[in-house]
Structure 1
């Protein structure tokens, strides 16, 4: 059994057994039919991986290429224009794409937004890599997608909104913070994505891979996901696959989807779950 499957099973069981419903509140999210999308949730949950194996689920198929495309769209393309997703037939953002085919000033926009730091114009990604290379002892290696001045111009407020990087004894550690995490649909993609991002950054900065910590302030399961998740976590997991990343890439912005291969990914079929919007 892969570590990701066991960790995920424990998380789902914990929420189902000890979580609290929000049915006493007027919730924002709805299903496609307009009915309220209630959740059962726990406050402040954390999962942690030593990165000795790829943290991707095998009890269902995770669309790993779409997950990496979304990651590249955010961190390499650094745009909120959905043309890149359209080009690669990635539909993760269709429910939040506006009439201009973008998601407003969210995610990639914030990563590519020009900023003045240390007397020069840069962006959050370039600044992070520069500082990891030249000032590794710093505790200020932080990327934030939560810009309060731009929130009303975002089609969706950032869920995974912040990450911090720490270098200790030559190893690059990553802490990811989510204000809200959909355990059924979003969480499996998010954990895999940030493992991939951590490996990309470690490769171009020359550090060994450290731990990945994923913090969820509101870890929730939607009401319509309960039974599909019960079925999923009852499946027998497969061993974790291996992720190949092209070792010749030394410049972060040179990464493309062709530089990734998931080898030996044996998994159960996808689990159908509705999307709450």
Structure 2
């Protein structure tokens, strides 16, 4: 009776992890019989901590709205595309986000830029950091709409507080003057305070031209390139390579 009351109280206090830990100890008395009070309490506290951390990661991943559920453990380092395990392992530590640096991933279509960007974003969520993913064109469109309905200030404030902003498919469409100004405002808010990850088919040397206006391009790129980590991928499309492998297997 007393135990049931304790379990109900723990759950009503939203200490579900501790309640689960207590139930486990009650269900496996022989496993915990030799442990002292403090050791058994520590096990329940660890269970609660793990549950809360897992719930936080789940919330962060949901809010990030990543295009791909990319897992760092599943990254292919064997495909010849210029991806070095040691360099990427350092990025997976998320130190660059705590240091407010940026990551710029460039390379041809199909080389895995979006997957790698989402894998870094996934890892950032695991480390308790807030993330938002956007295709660049859709973010610029959202900002344009926000000007009209009065949400622009709120949206830019939300972006400014996000630890990692992921901009996918950078430079595919020519920017308008309003979009350049919006992008500069976002980069100004984040410079030295938050991190931005960009993926692009265009080499960095062509970004200035893609932005369109020399003065605004200088200002935007100065904030992006400063303290940035660059991954320049190359080689044949991974999708094409996998397709060829599938055809070869089918022909045997």
TM-score exceeds 0.5: no
Q: Could you tell me the TM-score, scaled by structure 2's length?
A: 0.25
Going by fraction, where is helix more abundant, 1 or 2? 2
Pick 1 or 2: higher relative contact order, CA cutoff 8 A, min separation 6. Answer: 1
